[in-house]
Amino acid sequence: MVKSMTGFGRASKETEDFKVTIELKAVNHRYLETVFRLPRQFHHLEASLKKVITQKVKRGRLECFFSFEGAKVAEKHLAVDWELLDHYVRFLRQAKERYAIQEEVDLEALLADPAFLTVSESSEADPELPALITSVLEKAVARLDDMRAEEGTELALYFKEHLVKLERLLESVKEAIPETEKAYREKLEDRLAKLVGADFDEKLVLSELALLLEKADINEEIERFASHLKQFYSILTQEGAIGRKLDFLIQEMNREVNTMGSKAMSLSITQCVVEMKTTLEKIREQVQNVE
């Protein structure tokens, strides 16, 4: 089954104490890479969350954005360095007396200084949150997978349309071979007639023609290309990640077409080869999007 590597999935769930929202954004990548945008107190969950993702996603770069709401998401603690603050206030009072300063001590300014007062969050999350996060992630992944499958269906139709075109072009190449062989013989006979006259050795013609046709023979390449076409159709129906298989197969098909082009001594075959290479390139570009 064809699946795209690109897609988006979003899910949200709210309880009495929390609201968790997860957004997933997937793009093309050679392997599976997951990037979690999680607060520090949830970093220990990354391994288990990745297992949820890998159940459905095999390739691609996946960015996971987490949003948490609720008073119990993380406890905040107020820390005051009273000893340092006492020293500072005593110093200010002594400075006022020593230098006859009239201004009062600005308590608000002191509290804004992180040297005296800090607010920190607990590194431990509420025990209810991991199960809730996992549940929301499963829904987000399912929606992402649905989108990837929909795009994959469109890609499969695109591939089949272009495979049909390749089949027609390959048939045209086959049909051109007898006419090409006939043209080779006529050219060879005409050349010999100009060199030695009409009275030339027929065996020599057949011998030279056999050597020429052997060098230009593309039947083996045609058979292999036809086999690759069947294999391509078969891979499209397989489950799991198939993108790499298709990419390798396209390389093999290009190799066969290039060999046909190098051997071909017929304008009609050369024209078919050019169209086949163009069509293969279109397929290759879209194969890069397949998981």
**In the numeric block, which tokens belong to residue 157?**
């139709």
- CATH annotation of 152-287: 1.20.140
E strands within the chain? 7-14, 19-27, 32-37, 60-69, 76-80, 117-121
pLDDT confidence of residue 91: 81
Q: What is the pLDDT of residues 73-128, one digit of tens each?
A: 555 556 777 788 787 778 878 877 777 777 776 767 766 777 767 755 555 556 78
pLDDT confidence of residue 197: 56
Residues of the chain with CATH 1.20.140: 152-287
pLDDT confidence of residue 282: 97
Report the C-alpha dihedral over residues 247, 253, 257, 262, rounded to 10 degrees.
Answer: 80
Residues of the chain with CATH 3.30.230.10: 7-73+127-147
Question: Which one is the CATH code of 7-73+127-147: 3.90.1180.10, 3.40.50.261, 3.30.230.10, 3.90.400.10?
Answer: 3.30.230.10
- Positions in the chain short of pLDDT 70: 71-78, 105, 107, 110-111, 116, 119-126, 180-216
Model pTM greater than 0.75?
no
Q: What is the pLDDT of residues 74-85, one digit of tens each?
A: 555 567 777 887
pLDDT confidence of residue 208: 59
CA 263 to chain centre: 36
User: 3-state class of 27 per DSSP?
Assistant: strand
- Show Cβ contacts of residue 109 under 8 Å, excluding neighbours closer than 6 positions: none
pLDDT confidence of residue 205: 55
Give the strand order in the sheet containing 19-27. Answer: 7-14, 19-27, 60-69, 32-37
Single-letter amino acid code for the residue at 119: V
